[in-house]
Amino acid sequence: MSPARVAAGADSRLIDPAVLARISDLELVARVVVEGFLGGLHRSPRFGASTDFAEHRPYVPGDDVRRVDWKLWARTDRYHMKEFEADTDTSVTVLLDASRSMDFAGPGSAMTKLEYAKRLAACLLYFSQRQRDRVGLAALTREVRELVPAAPGRLGAALHALDRLTPGADGALAPPLRVLAERFRRKSIVVLVSDLYEEPASVVDALAHVRGRGNDVIVFQVLDRAELDFPYDDAGTFEDLESGVQLPLVPSAVRDRYTGLMAAHLEAMRSHLRGARVDYALFDTSRPLDAALHAYLLARERLGRAR
């Protein structure tokens, strides 16, 4: 499938992860997903927040008629919308977990968790820059591996960093987040994308370094469907990607206990994060990326109402 054909036919079928896995150009993936997604919205969630005029654009059905430029219509007999800069110069930084555990794809999965997370990060960055936010990226292992500080026009640099990113050493989230917290000198939106294989209380403590500076934090937990359902049938040796420990297992004998422990872990993670006023959403890698964007938009809408 050629890039031109993909870009020309952006619809819900093209947002399927199996299709996006065959597209290596992250900017193209982001453009197809974001533009296709926003095309179905009645309005953008942040334009019109101030009186600083930004630009005109053609009217499309569903637009708020209160923002039609009637003077321009009187001169041209065409409807154009007035768009405005935001009141605040918002910075959006995506923190991407690039640890070894993210390099996993279960049976039938189109891509690893890291590949899915990279596409998700690209979509979030593209959407944020489209909204005239400053965008930035940091890749985390036991340290900060890649860093693109949030600034205007940094989408290209962030996408380049994502493209070359490979899994690295494992480590707790707290050390790199403590380092990064010093860099958020203005109030920012910080989006963490990770499989969150840590104790829930430890994740909340790690994020406290970022939230303590007045930043809004959103967490996307990315897991493979096999990690949720444990669909294996044949006995074999299973390896922990982080520790390298290998265990001989009979799947049918441990499946119920495994899925019960996983469900308890996810519920604890959700409860701890929401108790700390951190927006949280879980995605498995079979879930279309437009669903992730929808959760992101709802989170931003809630954050906007809370300000």
- When computed from its CA atoms, the radius of gyration of the chain, rounded to whole angstroms, is 21
Please answer whether residues 195 and 221 qualify as being in contact, where contact means their C-beta atoms are separated by less than 8 angstroms: yes
On whether both 29 and 168 belong to a single domain, the answer is: no
On whether both 26 and 75 belong to a single domain, the answer is: no
Torsion over CA: 223, 184, 276, 301 (sign) = negative
Does 43 reside within a domain?
Answer: no
Does 44 reside within a domain?
Answer: no
Residue numbers in the chain where pLDDT is lower than 50:
1-14, 42-51, 86-88
pLDDT digits (tens, 9 = 90+) for 137-183: 999 988 898 899 998 889 999 999 999 999 988 878 889 998 888 88
Torsion over CA: 139, 259, 270, 33 (sign) = positive
On whether both 246 and 220 belong to a single domain, the answer is: yes
Does 48 reside within a domain?
Answer: no
Question: What is the pLDDT at residue 84?
Answer: 58
Question: What is the pLDDT at residue 303?
Answer: 58
Residue 26 in tokens: 């992250």
Domain limits at 80?
A: 53-84
Helix (H, G, I), strand (E, B) or coil at 165: coil
Does 46 reside within a domain?
Answer: no
Query: What's the number of domains the chain is made of?
Result: 3
On whether both 71 and 139 belong to a single domain, the answer is: no
Does 107 reside within a domain?
Answer: yes
What's the whole-model pTM score? 0.78
User: Domain with 107 in it: what CATH number?
Assistant: 3.40.50.410
On whether both 22 and 114 belong to a single domain, the answer is: no
On whether both 273 and 298 belong to a single domain, the answer is: yes
Rounded CA separation 106/283 (Å): 15
On whether both 72 and 126 belong to a single domain, the answer is: no
Question: What is the pLDDT at residue 305?
Answer: 54
Q: Which residues are bridge partners to 219 per DSSP?
A: 192, 280
Cα of first residue to Cα of last residue in the chain, in angstroms, is 44
Does 28 reside within a domain?
Answer: yes
On whether both 96 and 79 belong to a single domain, the answer is: no
Residue found by looking up tokens 């596409």 in the block? 119
Q: What distances in angstroms separate CA 160 from CA 24, 144, 219, 228, 242, one per listed residue?
A: 12, 16, 23, 31, 26
Question: What is the pLDDT at residue 12?
Answer: 41
Which residues, 6+ apart, have CB-to-CB distance to 189 below 8 Å?
Answer: 90, 91, 92, 93, 128, 133, 215, 216, 217, 218, 300, 303
On whether both 296 and 186 belong to a single domain, the answer is: yes
Question: What is the pLDDT at residue 49?
Answer: 41
Please answer whether residues 140 and 95 qualify as being in contact, where contact means their C-beta atoms are separated by less than 8 angstroms: yes
On whether both 33 and 60 belong to a single domain, the answer is: no
On whether both 108 and 13 belong to a single domain, the answer is: no
Does 25 reside within a domain?
Answer: yes
Does 295 reside within a domain?
Answer: yes
Question: What is the pLDDT at residue 56?
Answer: 77
Question: What is the pLDDT at residue 249?
Answer: 85
Q: Is 47 left (phi over 0), alpha (psi -120 to 50) or beta?
A: beta
On whether both 67 and 174 belong to a single domain, the answer is: no
